Structure 1
Amino acid sequence: MARMIKCVKLKKEAEGLMVPPLPGPKGQWIFENVSQQAWTEWQAHQTRLINEKHLNLLVPETRKYLMEQMDKYFSGEAIDTAEGYVPEDKKS
C-alpha cells in the first residue's frame, strides 16, 4: 500500500515519496511533507530552470539558488520561471 502524506504543495492527502530525495534534515522534511506528484512537478520545473537559464550545477551559488527556489515552490511563494519555456499544450 502507498504511503500517504498531507502534501504542503497540493494541500491534500497524496501518495508520499518512497525515500527522502535529499540527505539530511531538508530531505527528511520533503519526505514527510511533499507528495510524489509535487516532487515530480518540482523536478520538471527545476529542469526547465537549469536548461533555459543555462545553470551550471558545479557552481555553489547555482545550487543555493535552486534550493531557494525549491523552498519557495513548496511554500507557495512566487518562483522564477524559465523565460523561453512554452508548455506543450500552448504550442500551435
Structure 2
Amino acid sequence: MARMVFCKHFGEELEGLERPPLPGPKGQKIFEEVSKKAWQAWQAEQTMLINEKQLSLMDPEARKYLQDQMDKYLSGENYDRAEGFVPQQDD
C-alpha cells in the first residue's frame, strides 16, 4: 500500500514519495510534507525554468534561484514561471 502524506502544495492527502528526493534535512522535510504528484509537477516546472531562463546548474546563483523557487512552489506560494507560459485549464 502506498504511503500517504498531507501535501502542503495541494492541501490534501495524496500518495507520498518512495524516498527523500534530496539528501539531508531538506529532503526529509519534502519526503514528509510533499506528495509524489507535487514533486513530479515541480520537476516539470523546474525544467521549464531552466530551459526558458537558460540557467546553468554550474552557477551557484542559478542553483540558489531554483532552490528558492522550489520552496515557494512546494509551499503553494507564487513563484516565477517561464515567460509566456499559460497554465493548462482544468475543464
Using the size of structure 2 for normalisation, the TM-score is 0.91
- CA distance, structure 2, for counterparts of residue 39 and residue 84 of structure 1: 23
| RMSD of aligned alpha carbons | 1.4
What does the per-residue CA deviation read over 1:17-70, in whole Å, with 9 as the maximum and x for residues that have no partner? 001000000000000000000000000000000000000000111110000001
State the match for 1:4 in structure 2.
4
CA contact (8 A) 1:48 1:85 kept: no
Contact 1:3–1:15 (Cα < 8 Å) also in 2: yes
User: TM-score by structure 1 length?
Assistant: 0.90
Determine the C-alpha separation between the residues in 2 that align with 1:84 and 1:48: 11
**Unaligned 5+ runs, structure 1:** none
Identity %: 64
Q: Does 1:52 pair with 2:52?
A: yes
Name the structure 2 match of 1:77. 77
Which ranges of 4 or more aligned residues in structure 1 deviate by more than 4 Å?
none
Structure 2: 5+ residue stretches without partners: none
